Amino acid sequence: MSDGPRVAVTGTPGTGKTTTTTLLDGPVIHLNDLIREAGLWSERDEGRGSLVADLDAVREAVGDWSGVAESHLAHHLDADRVVVLRCRPDTLERRLRERGADEAKATENAESEALDVILSEAVERHGLDSVYEVDTTDRTPADVAADIEAVVTGDRGPSAGDVEFTDYL
Ligand code: ADP
């Protein structure tokens, strides 16, 4: 058995999961790297130019994990606490374009963010008491990392539904 809570950090691509979890003290499982390196995918999504992860294989590969795991798929793992990073859709779209995403992908992710898709999935699977929503808009990665740390240490209570982006639809 491993010690400590299992903290999954999820969110729409571009919300800052990679950037912020890299600032944390402890080890972090970067699930997307694992999926790519260990071949834990079942098919290619040609339209999106991405891999479709085999979630059962991912769960088996991480096994009895602890600490922090990050990915837009992290909420599909068993976890004790789930951090959902959020970002205002127009800001998210800009972040994605700045890192080279094509127009269609940036728009699709901004719409998904406005519709609370990942938040809803996280609440459905883990329940309101295990979900910690953190708005990253107009904040620094260091501030967001401190919020994630507070979830890990138990110094922050659960919250979901405080962030509202439907105006951007
Ligand atoms: P993800 O892993 O969720 O896809 P990344 O960390 O790869 O996101 O990219 C997020 C981008 O947004 C980076 O270019 C980062 O510099 C930028 N960014 C701006 N503000 C923040 C913030 N407060 N938290 C995290 N990332 C931010």
Q: Rounded to two decimals, what is the model's pTM?
A: 0.96
Separation between Cα atoms, residue 69 and residue 152, nearest integer Å? 11
To test the pocket of ligand 1, the residue of 17, 18, 19, 140 to mutate (highest count of ligand atoms within 8 Å of its CB) is: 19
Query: Would 169 be classed as within a structural domain?
Result: no
pLDDT < 70: residue spans in the chain = 1-2
Which structural domain, as residue segments, surrounds residue 40? 6-157
Ligand 1 and 13: CB distance under 6 A: yes
- Quick: pLDDT tens for 88-137: 999 999 999 999 999 999 999 999 999 999 999 999 999 999 999 999 99
Query: Would 54 be classed as within a structural domain?
Result: yes
To test the pocket of ligand 1, the residue of 33, 84, 90, 95 to mutate (highest count of ligand atoms within 8 Å of its CB) is: 95
Residue 14 CB-density burial (10 A; 0-12 exposed, 13-18 middle, 19+ buried): buried
Buried b (16+ CB within 10 A) or exposed e, 93-130: bebbeeeebeeebbebbbbbbbbbebbebbbebbeeeb
Query: Would 117 be classed as within a structural domain?
Result: yes
Q: Which of 105, 85, 88, 103 is nearest to 168 (CA)?
A: 88
Query: Would 163 be classed as within a structural domain?
Result: no
Total number of domains constituting the chain: 1
**Matching residue, tokens 């990679």:** 18
What's the ipTM?
0.97
Other residues' Cβ atoms within 10 Å of the Cβ of residue 5: 16
Query: Would 81 be classed as within a structural domain?
Result: yes
Domain of residue 148, CATH code? 3.40.50.300
Residue nearest ligand 1's atom 22 by CA: 141
Query: Would 1 be classed as within a structural domain?
Result: no
Query: Would 164 be classed as within a structural domain?
Result: no
